[in-house]
Amino acid sequence: MIEWSEEDLMIRDAVRGWIDAEVRPNLDALESGELPPYDLLRSLYKTFGMDEMARSSFQSRLAKEREGGAAGSDGERAGGGSAAMSMIPVIELCKVAPGLVSAMGVGLGLAAGTIMKRGTPEQKERWALPLLTMEKVGAWAITEPNSGSDAFGGMQATARKDGDEYVLNGSKTFITNGPYADTIVFYCKLDQGEDPRNREILTFVLDRGMPGLEQSKPLRKMGLHSSPTGELFLNDVRAGADRLLSSGAQGGKESARQNFVTERAGVAAMALGVIEECLKLSVEYAKTRELWGQRIGDFQLIQLKLAKMEVARLNVQNLVFRHIEMQRAGRTPTLAEASAMKLYAAQAASEVAQEAVQLFGGNGYMSEYRVEQLARDAKSFQIYAGTDEIQITHIARDLLSR
């Protein structure tokens, strides 16, 4: 794949039209947190029939599973459409409000994705389907105040067995959709008295309003304002075994790692949206801003910025196209490949957006010109789904183990 197909471009234009009509007029309300993102995302899903596609793809997948058949590829899981169809809305939304994609991606990819990989058919119907159709909001909670990068080693949240039930305690932080989530995929360790670092990881599905579960208000943060982020506090929350997801052959840790792969590849598509938008805005500005009797685009230092942005755009686009081709071929990237893709794309988006602010001068620092929002938003790509430093350790570990 070297470029988008005619059909892809038609989808892209339709999505752009929807964003212009529905998202741009609401950008201030999204940025201030006054408007949570969920109704807009539901409207996107309804407008493009993605809710019905998700429902029918879910039903056929479940029917196959119940007959004992294979579960289907990631491409099919993405909602029945092509891989490009799942990437294009991500790229286009990220040109305007990357937070919308985080809010959507965590509910669909991580919360529903985990239940679809590890749930029983009953658990999938009860919790994953309403997340996949966007009726409900999902969160995926691993990070704790004392364990971020060392998520499993340092995890302190516990599950204690009490009769047929589990009693859950602990707190989670920086949880995307945490304040509004109806359904929470919650990671903790089974406490049977052994050394905390050796305890088994368990994953539960929790519902908003369960006694002992508190969801904080949105935390104030640097950017990504259209994606509410919060804390969760669990105080003796009682969960039946029907809420426990299977650990699978390789355990809860391995399933979370598979999610890292999905999430990291998704960040590259998000980065592409930011880069394309910053480049477009920068070229327009370089052509129209005049100083010393000439447009700033004639200055070589400005040309260098534009050239570096174009290099980043081509590289990240190639990574995204490669990922689409791999999905079509039914291949999943290795953790090292997904980490390399995320490391490069996140840094490129952050640098391009910062340089766009610089190219715009004082206007770049003003919200009206939009690049400052993209620069704040893009910084988050270097932190969540594993920091840059953690991507480096994952790539190196994989290379050195071969």
Ligand X SMILES: Cc1cc2nc3c(=O)[nH]c(=O)nc-3n(C[C@H](O)[C@H](O)[C@H](O)COP(=O)(O)OP(=O)(O)OC[C@H]3O[C@@H](n4cnc5c(N)ncnc54)[C@H](O)[C@@H]3O)c2cc1C
Residues that bind ligand X (CB under 6 A): 106, 140-143, 148-149, 174-176, 224, 229, 380, 383-384, 386-387, 389-390, 393
DSSP secondary structure string for all residues of 312-362: HHHHHHHHHHHHHHHHHTTPPPPHHHHHHHHHHHHHHHHHHHHHHHHHTTH
CB closer to ligand X, 143 vs 317 = 143
Residue 242 CB partners (closer than 8 Å, separation 6+): 122, 123
Query: Which residue's C-beta sits nearest to ligand X?
Result: 148
Pairing of strands 183-190, 229-240: unpaired
CB closer to ligand X, 48 vs 381 = 381
- CA separation (Å) from 362 to 12, 356, 372? 32, 11, 11
Is-contact 143 155, C-beta < 8 A?
Answer: no
The distance of closest approach from Cβ of residue 224 to ligand X in the complex, given in angstroms and rounded to an integer, is: 5
The distance of closest approach from Cβ of residue 271 to ligand X in the complex, given in angstroms and rounded to an integer, is: 15
247: which DSSP letter?
-
Cα-to-chain-centroid distance, residue 100: 9
CB closer to ligand X, 341 vs 343 = 343
Residue 58 CB partners (closer than 8 Å, separation 6+): 124, 128, 129, 132, 133
Residue 35 CB partners (closer than 8 Å, separation 6+): 26, 29
The distance of closest approach from Cβ of residue 10 to ligand X in the complex, given in angstroms and rounded to an integer, is: 33
Distance in angstroms (rounded) separating the CA atoms of residues 302 and 220: 34
CB closer to ligand X, 305 vs 376 = 376
CB closer to ligand X, 350 vs 380 = 380
Is 263 tagged catalytic? Answer: yes
Distance in angstroms (rounded) separating the CA atoms of residues 364 and 307: 19
The distance of closest approach from Cβ of residue 276 to ligand X in the complex, given in angstroms and rounded to an integer, is: 22
CB closer to ligand X, 81 vs 263 = 263
Which residue in the list 31, 144, 263, 276 is annotated as catalytic?
A: 263
Is-contact 151 143, C-beta < 8 A?
Answer: yes
Other C-beta atoms closer than 10 Å to the C-beta of 344 total 18
Is-contact 8 88, C-beta < 8 A?
Answer: yes
The distance of closest approach from Cβ of residue 228 to ligand X in the complex, given in angstroms and rounded to an integer, is: 10
Is-contact 94 273, C-beta < 8 A?
Answer: yes
DSSP, collapsed to helix, strand or coil, labels residue 220 as: coil
CB closer to ligand X, 40 vs 181 = 181
The distance of closest approach from Cβ of residue 252 to ligand X in the complex, given in angstroms and rounded to an integer, is: 13
Active-site annotation, residues: 263
